[in-house]
Every structure is written in C-alpha cells, then in structure tokens.
Structure 1
Amino acid sequence: MSIAQIEQLEQEILEKVTQLNQMRQAISGEPIADYRLQTLSGEVALSELFAGKTKLLMIHNMGEACRYCTLWGDGINGILPHLESALSVVLVSKNDIHTMRTFANSRNWGFRLASHGGGDYMKQQVAQQGYDNMPGAVVYELRDGVIYRTNHCAFGPGDLYCAAWPLLGLAGIGEAQWTPQFNYWIKPRKLEDGDDNVLE
C-alpha cells in the first residue's frame, strides 16, 4: 500500500460521489400524503414545514437515546445555516415534541423540530431495510401543491453524512474501533470538591 494508491482511490471516490449527485438530480420522485406532525406550535401538515421553500430536508432521528443519531445531529447542526439558505430543514423523531426540544436545547441544536410519534409517517417514510425506526434523511419537493419524495439515505457508521468518519479514518481509526458518546467528560480519580452528587 502506498500514498499514491490512496490518493488514486480518493480521486475515484470523489468522481463516484459526483456521479451519484448527478443521478440524484434526475429523480422526479413519487407523490406522498400530506402527513400530520406535532410541533411546539401544535399539529401541522408536512406541507407547512416547507416554510415557503420548494425543497424540504427531513432529518430522521431515532430520538434522544441514540448516541449515533446525536453525532449526526451535532454535525448537521454545525452547517444548518448553510443548508437553510437552499432548502427547509426539519429534524423529526418519534419522541414527543417537548422531549425533543429539551434534548435539542441540551445539544445547542438550532433545528426546527417535529414529532411523528411513531405513527404512519414513521411506518411509511422512516422504516428501511427491516428497521422500523431508521436514522437518515429524505428530501421532499413541493410542486403544484403536491409533495414528492425524491432522494433519501440511511445513516450508519462510516457513511457520507457525518464528517467524523472520514477524519477518524484519516487517523487510521475505523468505525468499528470508535463509538460516539453523549459527552466525553471523564471523572478524575479524586475530585478536590468532596466527590458528592457527581452526575455520570
């Protein structure tokens, strides 16, 4: 194995990603229902989440109990203003909307949030590959009052949608060697403040 071989493979991957995105541009999509979702402002239709834009990126989050979903949420949140300059972005979960907001606040997320509550939306739009609650993303387009599901993806260790994986890979750390955590605070062997009431 040589650096030249690695660089050649990187170039091939870049060309494949370019080809993939060109193929995605050609997808016209399939019409879907105008699902009802819960927000902090009450129940809304999926079509309302477009917020004046023609495209909606829906981030499918498994909920507050998933460390991996939190990793993707943290990463996407960092580029959220850039994404929102081009399309509407909403993070959805089966958690109730108040649980979602509390967790989002704890992560300093700026996402607009909606809860599908594990109902029809989850069964018909989120479930993939034998999993009823699969993390990932889907793009919807609103054309002439009709919502079309165009492209979608599943999130998983080593994917294209989290910057952590390629950077860890650059350091020779594979996805099987590292697991994200909610935080990385390590309790010292001895705390100088008396060691009482420590939240792990």
Structure 2
Amino acid sequence: MTEAEKLEFEIMEKAKQLAALRRAEPDSPVEDYSFRTAEGEIGLSGLFGDRSRLLVIHNMGQGCRYCTLWADGINGVLEHLEDAMAVVLVSKDPPEVQRRMALDRGWRFRLASHGGGTYMTQQCAMGDHPNMPGACIYERKDGKVIRRGRTFFGPGDLYSPVWHFLGLAGLEEADWTPQFHYWRRPESLDDGGANLLD
C-alpha cells in the first residue's frame, strides 16, 4: 500500500470521528430568521415543512462560480438528501435571480433569500468571511429551532468530489477554476454567428 493510500484510509477514519464529534455537540438555539421566496416571506421554522431536520445550503449567489460548483454537485444527490431531511438553498440574491440561476443550472432545490441580512451575518459568517459558503443542519426540538452543526465549503473539502478527482489527476487548486458554462465559441459558425451571446 502506498503512503497516499494509507493517508486516504486515515482521512476516511477521521471523517467518521468528525461525524461523531458533531453528533455530540450541544444544542445551539437560533432565532426564527426571515427569508423571502417566490411565494412570499417565510421563517426558518417554516422551511422545515413537516420534517424535523433541515439542511440549509449557504450559497454566495450568482456572482460565485465556486458556489455554483458545490450546488451542482449537491443537486445531483438531492433526492437522497430529501429522503432524510428537508433541504433548501439560500443566498443573498432576490428570489427572481435565484430562480433564473436555478433554471439555468437545472437545480431542483427549494430556494430562499436571506437578502444579505441577519441570517447571513450570524449563520454564514466564519472567521474573517461575512458570507462563507457552506451548510447548516437545523433541528426542531421542544418548539425551538436549534443548530446541530455547520461547515464551510472550499477546495479540498469533504463536500465536492471534483477536488478529489483533480487531486487524483495531479492537479492543484491553482490549476483549475470552475466556470458557469464550458461551451467554447468555435472559430466560425455555420449560421454566421450574428447576435451570439457568450
């Protein structure tokens, strides 16, 4: 077994330890933050629907290609996640912008906007970053909403397999940047290319 393979097994064991530590964290009650959706205003408690657990994906919005990469990946496993808990993607973008982005990407998430307000500054902030991409798990317990755990998203994390495949190929973060679309304009177009929007 190579050193790389040994380390990979060690990382898998560490991930199990991390999950156990998160399960042991004390309850952290949060306020019933307000969000905007295409259907109107809703509180954090309303995003649960009839579920007891809620996964809130923190997306920085249409201006972040990296956030789009994570959302694309999570969208691929959304049905599995929704079998276990309610799921919603939030960003500071207004609902109409979120909807356009979701349609463009083929996302099936429920969407809600925190508008860059209190939810963002209290739940999305980490370290020096006031709007860190990541995720929170909330639970309804004894009539309150509690935060069970949170994480951030970044190159090499546990939540986007793209970085691990790039690493397997010997590529580093500096070697590749995600894009919104990968279509490249050909040198000439059979239709003449008039009114082409890149």
Q: TM class by shorter-chain length?
A: over 0.9
Q: Could you say which residue in structure 2 is the equivalent of 1:191?
A: 189
Letter in 2 for 1:124: Q
Q: Percent identity between the aligned chains?
A: 54
* Offset of residue 29 of structure 1: 2.4
Which whole-Å deviations, capped at 9, do the CAs of 1:85-137 have from their partners, x for residues lacking one?
00110000000011101111111100000000011111111111111111110
Q: Could you say which residue in structure 2 is the equivalent of 1:170?
A: 168
Moved over 3 A (4+): none
- SS of the residue corresponding to residue 68 of structure 1 reads helix
Given candidates 74, 96, 104, the residue that maps to 2:102 is: 104
CA distance in 2, matches of 1:131, 1:6: 32
TM-score, reference length from structure 1: 0.96
Structure 2 portions without partners, runs of 5+: none
CA distance in 1, matches of 2:139, 2:174: 36
* Offset of residue 72 of structure 1: 0.4
Q: Could you say which residue in structure 2 is the equivalent of 1:93?
A: 91
Which whole-Å deviations, capped at 9, do the CAs of 1:37-93 have from their partners, x for residues lacking one?
111111011101111111111000000111000000100000000000001100000
Could you say what the CA RMSD is over the residues aligned between the two structures, in angstroms? 1.0
CA distance in 1, matches of 2:36, 2:26: 28
The question of whether the paired residues in 2 share the 8 Å contact of 1:137 and 1:154 is answered with yes
Q: Could you say which residue in structure 2 is the equivalent of 1:151?
A: 149
CA distance in 2, matches of 1:7, 1:162: 20
* Offset of residue 195 of structure 1: 2.1
Q: Could you say which residue in structure 1 is the equivalent of 2:78?
A: 80
The question of whether the paired residues in 2 share the 8 Å contact of 1:29 and 1:151 is answered with no
Given candidates 57, 66, 69, the residue that maps to 1:68 is: 66
**Which moved further from structure 2: 115-124 or 190-199?**
190-199
CA distance in 1, matches of 2:127, 2:3: 34
- SS of the residue corresponding to residue 69 of structure 1 reads helix
Letter in 2 for 1:179: T
Q: Does 2:123 align with 1:125?
A: yes
